[in-house]
A and B are shown apart, each in its own frame.
Chain A
């Protein structure tokens, strides 16, 4: 049995697959969370676990592999990453520490969501700010690396070409775009934080940063500005409510909703155009989403905007989990387009299995040294 954990700042989710059956659960990180996990796995569940995966949202400069084995020796490095995103990473470390102690003989695997972009070229990774700030961890980290890497594995290979020029677009609460040359990351629309880039459900996306200084001078505190940019902006601001922007795409009737949808499509198309220039052309454009059907109109509109690339699309056919790879672009289109059903659990599971097959290593019962706060 493979068990995977995914946490935000206060909730833990898990999923396990055993004999074709999926076990999943969710609870708050409090009190007896371990018992709740054990309970969901059923009696003797712990004995059947072969490997556990943990999802680290931000690996900063320390973690450069998207999928890697955690050992008692390198666990310290994971703990060092807490500073990059304390509210999330601290919890991930606590979950991992518990299971490494409890099941020292199995494999423990870390998925790091930023690691893929640690290999971005200098010009993509850094901002045009004084060098000393670049040395103080101020750079473009990106997110969704696990998913973009998975996408490049699905569609970024072509035996006839040395490196496929691929742009992968995630459509959802945190819409973002990544550019890859073969398997090498070339650009991400996320920046130092996921606020930069395309607007999200509550995040502003790219705005003129001088506004922050004016708001501060007008009496807003950093905390208030921070909250405004990451919690009260984006679709919530354009629509005037937090009711879930994805409704916008299924039934965009009001003037505000139409304008918000137009703004969104405009920005997605701009980032794709921008990254096409970075890659020097485009071979494959791949979309993925948890709710791809809700974004069908958006995908059509964005593809229409890119018709000048020669891109010709038919009806969108969705590639489901394990489904056959088939493009929805017309055969004559020089750019191939795909649309995938996104399932992070499946990606974690496949990535973990791939790592185990490659190495097959586990921790061989070494004792995990105790560290303050993560015993």
Chain B
């Protein structure tokens, strides 16, 4: 049973139903929403906002937005950690006296401990602790936000939704690492894949937009975030390959992660140059990718602004090239496709990334309408392809929070 917080004011017109606060930690951002779930099966956002550039070493300041009841505020304040961001969010919510009945958290990697969403209880909390090293950037920040949240709302039930679940449909040829069998079995080494909540959301939206059931579509979805990015090949409603692996380190060039590298390189650097393992892993996770090449920012928007500088241009070119390689690779996996979809912050907001990625791709049936691409609004679904483009090119904003909210409603038996 749910415990309702009786001290809060119930606003007119929303006395019935649940208020679900959802936190979504990106590696350098924290999105949040309060959903209202009433008698009908519709869920409406009551409050939404996002902390940007959390802990980013860049040229621009961090800020946080808060939207409630038609009012928007944006505070430019230093936000060094996700915990600081979460505390600000609770301050806003308490100030406006918004009742919260349930809190949902996104968690990137549930390892072998979690096959589905779960309530946060002493037992599951221990398991979450054990998952920390599996996604060293995301899992610890998610857990830190969970701690702040439990402290701020000690009487409210909280749950976690996992990012790895969507890729459970990968076939063995996509998830296998050809390492000795006893090692694979002992440690459960395989490709897990991430950003599953985003893919699930965008796949549904794309199918609805194309007026074709997902079961009949082949698509490549590029989830390009301000922190982590990945690509997925989705065939007939199922993920069949994705660029991240056992951990979120591999695949695309990301803001601070290196993406694909030669595994022997890690051994070589430790053996020949004497790098300590924890130092080296930290470097590949937090000091590589765009910040590693550019040397001045982990944010692709900063890099685009300075792309006349040599290292910035190289960082941009490598980012685009790696993404194109994956699209080509997944075209072979899918044997052609119906739609190419861009999502998440960079995917929907950055026309230049989309333009460069679609350049010279006519061989694959990808023909971008440059004007439409430039003019596309990031708030809704945008068609970006030429009329005669055999592949539909779409920009679709994702709403991971809505998917997390739906998971919570399933847990409490409302869906």
Contact = CB atoms under 8 A, between A and B. Distances in A.
A262 interface: yes
B177 A211 contact: yes
Interface residues of B, number: 73
B263 A195 contact: yes
B263 A273 contact: no
Contact of A128 (B179, B245, B318): B318
A308 B336 contact: yes
Contact of A127 (B265, B326, B332): B265
B180 A232 contact: yes
Contacts, number: 221
A88 B329 CA distance: 34
Interface in B267-312: 267-271, 273, 277, 280-281, 283-284, 287-290, 292-293, 295, 311
Contacts of A138: 265, 268-269
B32 interface: no
Given A123-B321, A240-B181, A196 B336 contact: no
A216 B321 contact: no
A143 to B, nearest CB: 12
Nearest to B244: A208
Contacts of B324: 277-278
Given A122-B314, A269-B332, A277-B327, A128 B288 contact: yes
A266 B327 contact: no
A196 B262 contact: yes
B12 interface: no
Interface stretch (B74-82, B145-153, B252-260): B252-260
A128 B264 contact: no
A217 B287 CA distance: 21
Nearest to A124: B321
Contacts of A226: 264, 267, 271
A216 B292 CA distance: 25
Given A127-B258, A130-B287, A206-B263, A308 B328 contact: no
A215 interface: yes
Contacts of A278: 321, 324-325, 328
Q: Which of B259, B261, B268 has the most chain A CB within a 10 Å cutoff?
A: B261
A196 B311 CA distance: 25
B181 A237 contact: yes
Contacts of B187: 211, 214-215, 218
A234 interface: yes
A373 interface: no
A131 B335 contact: no
B174 interface: yes
A216 to B, nearest CB: 5
B354 interface: no
A212 B267 contact: yes
B249 A208 contact: yes
B208 interface: no
A106 B125 CA distance: 75
Contact of B266 (A212, A270, A282): A212
A128 B330 contact: no
A274 B326 CA distance: 6
A344 B336 CA distance: 36
A51 B165 CA distance: 62
Contacts of A309: 363
B252 to A, nearest CB: 9
Contacts of A170: none
Interface string A216-244: 11100010011011101111011010000
Given A123-B321, A130-B283, A196 B176 contact: no
A275 interface: yes
A33 interface: no
A281 B264 contact: no
A272 B183 CA distance: 30
B66 interface: no
Given A128-B288, A131-B295, A273-B331, A266 B173 contact: yes
14 contacts: A127-B258, A192-B262, A193-B268, A206-B260, A207-B179, A208-B246, A209-B249, A214-B133, A215-B187, A222-B271, A229-B264, A262-B173, A266-B333, A269-B332
Interface of B: 133, 172-174, 176-181, 183-184, 187, 189, 191, 245-247, 249-250, 253, 258-271, 273, 277, 280-281, 283-284, 287-290, 292-293, 295, 311, 314-315, 317-318, 321-322, 324-333, 335-336, 359-364
Given A211-B246, A226-B264, A232-B179, 11 more contacts: A122-B317, A128-B261, A128-B290, A129-B261, A138-B269, A212-B263, A215-B187, A230-B264, A263-B172, A280-B361, A308-B336
> What are the 6 closest A-B residue pairs judged by CB atoms, nearest first?
A277-B328, A273-B332, A280-B360, A191-B262, A208-B245, A308-B336
Interface of A: 122-124, 126-131, 133, 136, 138, 140, 191-193, 195-196, 199, 204-218, 222, 225-226, 228-230, 232-235, 237-238, 240, 259, 262-263, 266, 269-278, 280-282, 305-309
